[in-house]
A and B are shown apart, each in its own frame.
Chain A
Amino acid sequence: MIPAAFEYVRVSTVDEAVAALAEHGEDAKILAGGHSLLPIMKLRLAVPSVLIDISGVQELSYVRVDGDEVAIGAGTRHHELEKSEVAQAEVPLLPHVASRVGDPQVRHKGTLGGTVAHCDPASDLPTALLALGATVVVQGPSGRRSIPITEFFLGFFETAMEEGELIVELRVPRTGAGGWGYEKFTRRENDWPIVAAAAVHLPDGSVGVALANMGGVVLKASAVEAALAEGRSIEDAAELAAEGTSPSSDMHADAEYRSHLARLLTKRALKVASGETGASTAESTAA
């Protein structure tokens, strides 16, 4: 299967990308790693008339410490994030989650900006970013602005980006040695999560918890976070994980099972984050 025909524009700077977006209007799409966009274009579920290829924009590819935060360029590929020593030292949740996305070939192409912009409710890195309370930096015709990630994912494949904008950077707090856990539940190791839970101890002393595939967007487990803030136990707090979610029923799992998984995985992620137990992902199961 092949995409419908389109016009192709290659840019090498963010300014060029913004200009190209302005020039081509709403029929244009950014092409980063292409590992969400091209698959749906091959199935003709997306038929953009112009693709603006930002994969050659060098200035979008970095992971660096910036004050209390780690700043990550939107063009950073999953495998670069996975291998980044800065990320491993400053915010180890992210490189771990990056290593759990798809398979090596996918990680060699997919970008952080792409996965955030694509806004798939089952995506791994957006879940981790949500738990971390990241900031999304976008740039458009009227310059740069920052959007808290809690306000970024609006609905099913819908974000707070405005026409003509692109994501340039993701900013996350430096959690350093603070505990974290990521529990991704899949059929096969390389699959998208049926449900995933991220938990991370943040520098301000709070615990961030987020869930993948429990609704139309990745979700913060707010009830769990609040219960933990009140000092309730991990077990008690995790029982609230499915609150406020709207999981779908599909061939992999129905809503009831997804809710069960949300509670179970949240409990496990929290326990790993607090150092009570080791990770219980499939890798450790296979003897």
Chain B
Amino acid sequence: MSILGTRVVRTEDPLFLTRGAVYTDDLTDPRLAGALHATFVRSTVAHGTVTEVDASAAREAPGVVAVYTAEDLGDLQPVPPPLPFLDAGFARPWLVPVGGRVHFVGDLVAVVLTEERYQGEDAAEMVVVDIDPLPAVVGTAAAATDETVLFPEVGTNKVAAFGEPAPEDFFADCEVVVTRAIVNQRVAAAPLETRAASAAWGEDGRVTIWCTNQGAQQAQGQIAGWLGLDPKLVHLVTPDVGGGFGAKIGADQEYAFVAWLAQQAGRPVRWAESRSENMTGMLQGRAQDQVITIGGDRDGTVKAYSLVVNQDCGAYPRIGTVLPTLTMLMAAAVYDIPKVHAQATCYATNGTSIGAYRGAGRPEATAAAERAMDLFAAEIGMDPADVRRKNFIAPFTEPFTTSSGATYDSGDYAAALDRVLEAAGYAELRAEQARRRERGDVRQLGIGVSAYVEITGADSGHGTSENAELEVHPDGTATVLTGTSPHGQGHATTWAMLASEQLGIPVEKITVLHGDTDRIPDGGGTMGSRSLQQGGAAVHQAAVELVEVARKRAAELLEANPDDLEVDLANAGLSVKGTPGTGITWAQLAADEQLIVQTTFTANAPTFPFGAHVAVVETDVESGKAVVTRLITVDDAGTIINPLLAEGQRHGGIAQGVGQALLEEILYDEDGNPQTSTFADYPFVSATELPSFELVEMATPTPMNPLGAKGIGEAGTIGSTPAVQSAVVDSVAHLGVRHIDMPATSMRVWRAVREAQKGSTN
């Protein structure tokens, strides 16, 4: 029986559950013996000119080995913006000098090296930093005015613009047009492990950097570039990683800084940030202000749709600047709309830089399209599920190109919706809703429906390729090296299953290694839901190729015709056809000569998983509090290799979507001070705010890789966010409410109801 498709429990768990995983701050590597501790001194002002940095008292504090300010940086050059088309004026200094400008709360001003961890905080407090405040630019609307410009040398806060305005007559042939400004708010990725890095230089002039990251090879290249080092001199290792969700893609400047400090100090250096530091220093996500306009006829046909995005990039534009192009690409979503327009403008603001967060650009497209469908349905008085069904792209197995320019691989959106509605008992839910409305209950029912498609395995800097190395050892064990970079997804188990499927070696005997640039110089990391479809496919390919290498070797040894040999899974080797158990094992074949394969798999194109979600909420209309009572989802990610792990990906994604829809938002006051920089203030979704989820199966294989697998890492979030938002709106729709921005907090719901009752639109 094939091991693929079965619920194999994780091979990584026994250690994780008894001794704990080993994260960067847990390392006891001998090279880090006697390491100094780095503590950064950060700006507490969002925008201003530094007038004084006095480290003299800190330098005298107990345990202090060194304090660096901008004056002590030697020839370190500011870090250029990470995208080639960005103005060089957006470069980020290592430490903001006296006379220079800080651009967000969290900008780096000085760094302290101490013998002990505790001494670092004491000494950092003693560094005197004076900043003359400038008006802060909070949000894209303020940025767009250019009244205050963050980077005078650039001359504008506008970072980039994509697309053109829609033609004036874009909606001319529509009976009904609805338009609305909506917010896809700024949120924290909030992996439970904050950022951490350690560095040690060897006698050989090479530096080893351990850091918590989603792709060692990309981080290695960046750090080497920033420090002006030959990448070969940088050995980058990612130990166990405590979650990433996109925010650990690419190196952060602090990681390179730790390496530089270790060189200066001539001793290893460690750094682990606090949560407060993380909530301002780590890349955040979403942060789009959108205007959606949808037009069509009263029979439910949508004819034209426009999405205009204003992207908040934060202080130093990073990868978030290009994410709106994914939003634009996916604007048409699951719909066959004749005309789709999308456009985006990106602005620098005095906030934390924006990067990828679970879905990165695609959830924003889905949220916009699904809000538009709901608004359109409400306007013409049609059931939101029916409007969707009427406009879906028809089922297809050959590539389909949408009006926003994406070419989807395979999909059946109506089937996904039908399945989820049936599992939810949609008709009965609507009936119950009607009864409660009729009775005027305090607790009203809201039903939210979403349909989505997303792009996974898109080129995120590494093409659509991934490599794998597979070696079988003489003792019968095997090792897989992969360029992907798990941080919770369970690749060690799934990759072992893929090798085991071809070789018959039990998964417990297969070790999967990743995240070490000396052993695995090339790799694309784990992001954009690419791992299984590219990295997993590479492991599969390596195993298939290894069988062929072994077949030739065995044929010589056994003096048999290679074609007469077949894989004998039960024996973990090859046997002469028809006589199982008589042949030779992989282990024997590896005895005299390494049995090893290195291979690269290249996908033809990205894949497009899809699905449909139903969220049910109960809203206390007197207080405005909405509670999610059910979440039913179809998430079609093609062929599933390990359902246990795939479901886990869905669960986590769904929960993060609920978090964004109901609770989470990074807030600044008008001076740009973050209001949500601890977990006491940032309402990270917890177990009590969630129901257990109801998952419905559906699997439409993709032709893009031999496994038939699409990505599953981000889908849950993409579907659940709009479903929950929609359910909250639906729960008070009978009171006249059409829209509530995320997060749909109780105050927002209460106020929306009140204003609707007063007769004002909302």
- Check B747 against A252 for contact (C-beta < 8 Å): yes
Chain A residues whose CB sits within 8 angstroms of the CB of B663 once the complex forms:
187-188
A49 within 8 A of B: no
Query: With A4-B122, A187-B683 as given contacts, are A286 and B625 in contact (CB-CB < 8 Å)?
Result: no
Q: Taking CB as reference atom, which chain A residue is nearest B616?
A: A287
Given A187-B745, A190-B686, A251-B667, residue A1 in contact with residue B622 (CB < 8 A): no
A233-287 at interface with B (beta carbon < 8 Å): 251-254, 257, 260-261, 264, 280, 282, 285-287
Cβ-defined contact, B747 with A188, below 8 A: no
Contacts of A39 in B (CB 8 A): 680
- A286 touching B627 by the CB < 8 A rule? yes
- A56 to B121 Cα, complex, angstroms: 30
In the complex, chain A residues 141-168 whose Cβ is within 8 Å of any chain B Cβ = none
Q: Which of B117, B618, B675, B689 contacts A188 (CB 8 A)?
A: B689
User: Number of contacts between A and B (CB, 8 Å)?
Assistant: 61
Is the CB–CB distance between A257 and B689 below 8 Å? no
Q: How far is the CA of A260 from the CA of B747 in the complex (A)?
A: 10
Residues of A within 8 A of B745 (CB): 187, 252
Closest B residue to A267 by CB, please name it. B622
Q: Is the interface of A mostly helix, strand, loop or mixed?
A: loop
B298: Cβ under 8 A from any A Cβ: no
Q: Is the CB of A251 within 8 A of B675?
A: yes
Inter-chain contacts of A188 with B (CB < 8 A): 663, 683, 685-686, 688-689
Prevailing SS type, chain B contact patch: mixed
**Which of A1, A261, A285, A286 is close to B121, meaning CB atoms less than 8 Å apart?**
A1
Number of interface residues of B (CB under 8 A): 33
Q: How far is the CB of A38 from chain B (nearest CB, A)?
A: 13
Q: How far is the CB of A260 from chain B (nearest CB, A)?
A: 7
Contact with A along B671-688 (1 / 0, CB 8 A): 000011000110101101
In the assembled complex, the Cα of A187 lies from the Cα of B629 at a distance in Å of 16
Does the CB pair A261–B623 fall under 8 Å? yes
- Verify if A189 is at the interface (C-beta below 8 Å from B): yes
Decide if B56 is an interface residue (CB 8 Å cutoff).
no
The answer to whether B629 and A1 have CB atoms under 8 Å apart is no
In the bound complex, what is the Cα–Cα distance between A253 and B751 (angstroms)? 11
A254 touches B627 (CB 8 A): no
- B586 contacts chain A at the CB level, 8 A cutoff: no
Question: A251 contacts which chain B residues (CB < 8 A)?
Answer: 667, 675-676, 681
Question: A285 and B618 in contact (CB under 8 A), knowing A44-B125, A188-B683, A251-B676?
Answer: yes
Known: A188-B686, A252-B747, A285-B443. A264 touches B125 (CB 8 A): no
List chain A residues, Cβ under 8 A from B689.
188-189
User: A2: which of B118, B620, B627, B688 is its contact (CB, 8 Å)?
Assistant: B118
Measured between alpha carbons, how far is A213 from B315 in the docked complex, in Å? 35
Interface centre among B276, B667, B745 (most CB of A within 10 A): B745
Give the residues in chain B near A252, CB-CB below 8 Å: 745, 747
Q: Judge whether A257 and B751 touch: CB under 8 Å.
A: yes
A6 to chain B, nearest CB (A): 12
Q: Mark A163-188, 1 if CB is under 8 A from B, else 0.
A: 00000000000000000000001011
Once the chains bind, are B443 and A253 in contact (CB under 8 Å)? no
Among A187, A189, A252, A260, chain B packs the most CB atoms within 10 A around the CB of A187
Between A39, A185, A191, A251, the greatest number of chain B beta carbons within 10 A of the residue's beta carbon is seen for A251
Kindly list chain B residues whose C-beta atoms are within 8 Å of the C-beta of A189.
686, 688-689
B125: chain A residues at CB < 8 Å are: 44
Instruction: Give chain A residues whose Cβ lies under 8 Å from the Cβ of B118.
Output: 2
The interface bits of chain B over 206-244 (1 if a CB of A lies within 8 angstroms of the residue's CB, else 0) are 000000000000000000000000000000000000000
Asked if B316 lies at the interface with its beta carbon under 8 angstroms from chain A, I say: no
Task: Give CA–CA (A285, B445) in the complex, Å.
Answer: 11
Kindly list chain A residues whose C-beta atoms are within 8 Å of the C-beta of B276.
1, 43
Across the interface, name the chain A residue whose C-beta is closest to B442: A280
Judged by a CB distance under 8 angstroms, whether B397 is at the interface is: no
Q: List residues 56-115 of chain B with CB under 8 A from any CB of chain A.
A: none
Residues on the A chain within 8 Å of B5, using CB = none
Proximity string of chain B (683-704) to chain A, C-beta cutoff 8 Å, 1 when within and 0 when not = 1011011010000000000000
Question: Contact: A286 with B691, CB < 8 Å?
Answer: yes
- The CA of A285 and the CA of B616, in the complex, are separated in Å by 13
- Which chain A residue lies CB-closest to B675? A251
> Which residues of chain B come closer than 8 Å to A190, judged between CB atoms?
686, 688
Contacts of B746 in A (CB 8 A): 185, 187
Contact indicator per residue, chain A 203-235, by CB within 8 Å of chain B (1) or not (0): 000000000000000000000000000000000
Cβ–Cβ contact A5 & B122, under 8 A = yes
In the complex, the answer to whether B750 meets A257 with C-beta atoms within 8 Å is yes
Q: Which of A44, A185, A191, A285 contacts B627 (CB 8 A)?
A: A285
Q: Which residues from A are CB-within-8-Å of B747?
A: 252-254, 257
Residues of A within 8 A of B685 (CB): 188
- Whether, in the assembled complex, B757 has its beta carbon less than 8 Å from a beta carbon of chain A, the answer is no
- B675 & A264 in contact (Cβ 8 Å cutoff): no
For A183, give the chain B residue with the smallest CB separation: B623
- Among B274, B675, B676, the residue within 8 A (CB) of A1 is B274
Q: How far is the CA of A3 from the CA of B148 in the complex (A)?
A: 38
Nearest B residue (CB) for A195? B623
> Which residues of chain B come closer than 8 Å to A187, judged between CB atoms?
663, 683, 745-746
The CA-CA distance from A187 to B625 in the complex, in Å, is 8
Is B121 touching A2 in the complex (CB atoms < 8 A)?
yes
Which of A185, A189, A280, A286 is most buried by chain B, counting CB atoms within 10 A of its CB?
A: A286
- A264-B623 CB under 8 A given contacts A188-B663, A251-B676, A252-B747: yes
* Chain B residues with CB below 8 A from A286, complex form: 627, 629, 688, 691
A251 to B682, CA, bound (A): 10
Interface residues of B in 593-632 (CB under 8 A from A): 618, 620, 622-623, 625, 627, 629-630
Residues of A contacting B630 with CB < 8 Å? 287
CA distance A188 to B667 in the complex (A): 18
Q: Knowing that A187-B746, A190-B688 touch, tell me 7 more A-B residue pairs with CB under 8 angstroms.
A: A4-B122, A43-B276, A187-B663, A257-B747, A286-B627, A286-B629, A287-B618
What residues make up the interface of A, taking CB atoms closer than 8 Å to B?
A: 1-2, 4-5, 39, 43-44, 185, 187-191, 251-254, 257, 260-261, 264, 280, 282, 285-287
Taking Cβ atoms with an 8 Å cutoff, the residues of B that contact A are 117-118, 121-122, 125, 274, 276, 443, 618, 620, 622-623, 625, 627, 629-630, 663, 667, 675-676, 680-681, 683, 685-686, 688-689, 691, 745-747, 750-751
A sample of 30 cross-chain residue pairs with beta-carbon separation below 8 angstroms, ordered by A number, consists of A1-B274, A1-B276, A44-B125, A185-B623, A185-B625, A185-B746, A187-B663, A187-B683, A187-B745, A187-B746, A188-B663, A188-B683, A188-B685, A188-B689, A189-B689, A190-B686, A190-B688, A251-B667, A251-B675, A252-B745, A252-B747, A257-B750, A260-B750, A261-B623, A264-B623, A282-B627, A285-B625, A286-B688, A287-B629, A287-B630
Q: Lowest 10 A-B CB distances belong to which pairs?
A: A189-B688, A287-B629, A257-B747, A285-B627, A1-B274, A187-B683, A251-B675, A188-B686, A251-B667, A253-B747
